[in-house]
């Protein structure tokens, strides 16, 4: 109940704020929208939308709670900005939802107001749709414009990028990018682990000094890798197999190969289980491992 009241209060605050802006705005003669003005990335971009002739009010989704590159859900920020822009649109102005460059995590978006969603065409913001729903964005109003956005969505056979509602008119979709997310490869996973563990710093040392190198490998980890190699060699009747030393942890190539060996052994070909096994091969779903996997997954998606 508290959460519901908080959400209702937030919407009411936005509506009141927009009404105040509207009152102040109507007291001044508004010029034609100048796309060479602020924000600076409008410069040199010719707006194809006839609504540009109307006086604009900009609604930045980051001012409504969306945060770029934080891997948290930004759908509410987008929805609130669309709602606010729709209110001024009904008042006779041009409601523009601006999306600064960066990566945003989104659920399905319904655009049910006649507004413009605008990103920098030269550095398109990325809308990552992680929920393989039946659509990424549903246009359910007339006069909607999408400019300079990059849509990334799951490779699900039931997912389409955009649904335009029956009877919706005057839709402008230009200078956008649409792409299915590629399934992560094993090399992508190794790169992500390297980044999450140390930003791929071969000289990195964890606070207690036990794990070192780009992949933050412990001495026990090295022993386990050598045990795995010996076990594989014994099963093949071979006496020849690699043996790593603790010093090899400082070598980026050797530490990568050790990581590849251990996570393949424990992960059994599953990307998520392999990622978890790097940190806790004996307890991949233990405390803190869900958060660790989310960090690795977010890095692979980037």
pLDDT at 192: 94
Residues 6+ apart with CB under 8 A from 218: 210, 211
What pLDDT score was predicted for residue 193? 96
This model's pTM is above 0.85:
no
Question: What SS3 state is found at 207?
Answer: coil
The answer to whether the peptide bond before residue 39 is cis (omega within 30 degrees of 0) is yes
Over the chain (302 residues), the average pLDDT of each successive run of 10 is 60 60 44 38 44 71 92 92 89 87 90 89 86 76 88 68 76 80 84 94 94 96 95 88 94 95 93 94 92 92 72
Note the pLDDT of residue 245: 96
Give residue limits of the domains in the chain.
Answer: 2-180, 186-301
Q: Residue 73 gets which letter from DSSP?
A: B
pLDDT of residue 160: 67
> 10 Å Cβ neighbour count for 72?
12
Q: Which two tokens stand for residue 60?
A: 């930045």
Task: State the pLDDT at residue 3.
Answer: 57
Cα 45–chain centre separation: 26
What pLDDT shows up at residue 60? 92
- Residue 45: predicted pLDDT: 39
CATH number of 186-301: 1.10.530.10
| Contact status, residue 103 vs residue 68, Cβ threshold 8 Å | yes
């Amino acid at each position: 109940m508290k959460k519901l009241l908080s959400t209702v209060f937030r919407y009411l605050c936005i509506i009141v704020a927009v009404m105040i802006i509207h009152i102040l705005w109507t007291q001044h003669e508004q010029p034609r929208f100048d796309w060479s003005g602020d924000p600076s990335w409008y410069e040199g971009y010719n707006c194809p939308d006839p609504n540009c002739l109307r006086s604009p009010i900009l609604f930045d989704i980051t001012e409504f709670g969306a945060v770029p590159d934080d891997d948290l859900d930004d759908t509410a920020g987008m929805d609130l900005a669309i709602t606010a822009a729709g209110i001024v649109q009904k008042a006779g102005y041009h409601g523009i939802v601006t999306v600064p460059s960066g990566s945003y995590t989104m659920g399905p978006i319904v655009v049910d107001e006649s507004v413009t969603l605008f990103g920098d065409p030269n550095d398109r913001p990325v809308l990552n749709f992680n929920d393989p729903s039946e659509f990424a964005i549903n246009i359910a109003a007339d006069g909607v414009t999408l400019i300079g956005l990059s849509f990334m969505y799951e490779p699900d056979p039931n997912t389409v990028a955009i649904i335009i509602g029956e009877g919706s008119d005057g839709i402008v979709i230009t200078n956008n990018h649409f792409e299915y997310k590629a399934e992560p490869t094993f090399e992508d996973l190794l790169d992500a682990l390297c980044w999450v563990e140390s930003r791929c710093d071969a000289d990195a040392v964890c606070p207690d000094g036990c794990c070192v190198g780009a992949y933050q490998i412990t001495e026990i980890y090295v022993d386990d890798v050598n045990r795995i190699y010996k076990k594989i060699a014994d099963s093949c009747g071979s006496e020849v197999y690699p043996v790593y030393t603790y010093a090899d942890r400082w070598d980026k190539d050797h530490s990568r190969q050790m990581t590849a060996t251990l996570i393949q052994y424990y992960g059994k070909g599953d990307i998520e289980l392999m990622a978890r096994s790097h940190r806790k091969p004996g307890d991949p779903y233990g405390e803190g491992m869900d958060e660790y996997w989310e960090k690795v997954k977010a890095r692979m998606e980037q």
